[in-house]
Amino acid sequence: AQKDSTGGTVSRIDVGTNEVKSVAVQGEPVALAVGPVAPGGTGSGTPTCPGTALLCGGKCVAVDIDAANCGACGRACPAGDICISGRCECPPGRQICGAACLDVTTDRGNCGRCGRPCIPGDVCVSGQCVCPVGLNVCSSQCVNEDA
């Protein structure tokens, strides 16, 4: 048996494929992380993660909030989404339209709600389709009546 830095006796060292996973000091497992293993080894050689975190690629990941690993390792949220309680959701101020999170207060193709496009030339302002300044609606288009 070896002595550890505190004078305790190291009775067992569990070595994984290329790193030490856990150490038992006087028969009691001691949490140890060297290299890519997660902290909190139980002495069984199997690393553990705290709370609801999962071991993803050798690191503990909070899959309840990580957009790259949302709900499970490797399950990435679409661009613009956030991860809430392990589910991909639109951030505040955006609405899911199809597979995208959009700002329906400014999106010309989904103005005010999903699937409500503005007419050609309109802009979406505060969820309402309006003609830009200086143009008026004529035959379902924004036109310059002075031209």
Per-residue pLDDT of the chain (147 residues; tens, 9 = 90+): 444 444 444 444 444 443 434 433 334 443 333 334 444 555 556 678 998 899 999 999 999 999 999 999 999 998 888 999 999 999 988 998 988 899 999 999 999 999 999 988 899 999 999 988 888 878 777 888 776
Show the beta-strand stretches assigned E in the chain. 2-3, 9-15, 20-25, 28-30, 54-56, 59-61, 82-84, 87-89, 95-97, 100-102, 123-125, 128-130, 136-138, 141-143
Could you tell me the residue range of the domain that residue 73 belongs to? Answer: 51-89
Same domain, residue pair 55 and 74: yes
| Tokens read off for 120 | 């050609």
104 and 137, same structural domain?
yes
Q: Domain check: are 55 and 36 in the same one? A: no
Domain count, the chain: 3
- Same domain? 85 vs 64: yes
- In sequence order, the 6+-apart residues with CB closer than 8 A to the CB of 41 are 14, 21, 22, 29, 31, 32, 33, 47, 48
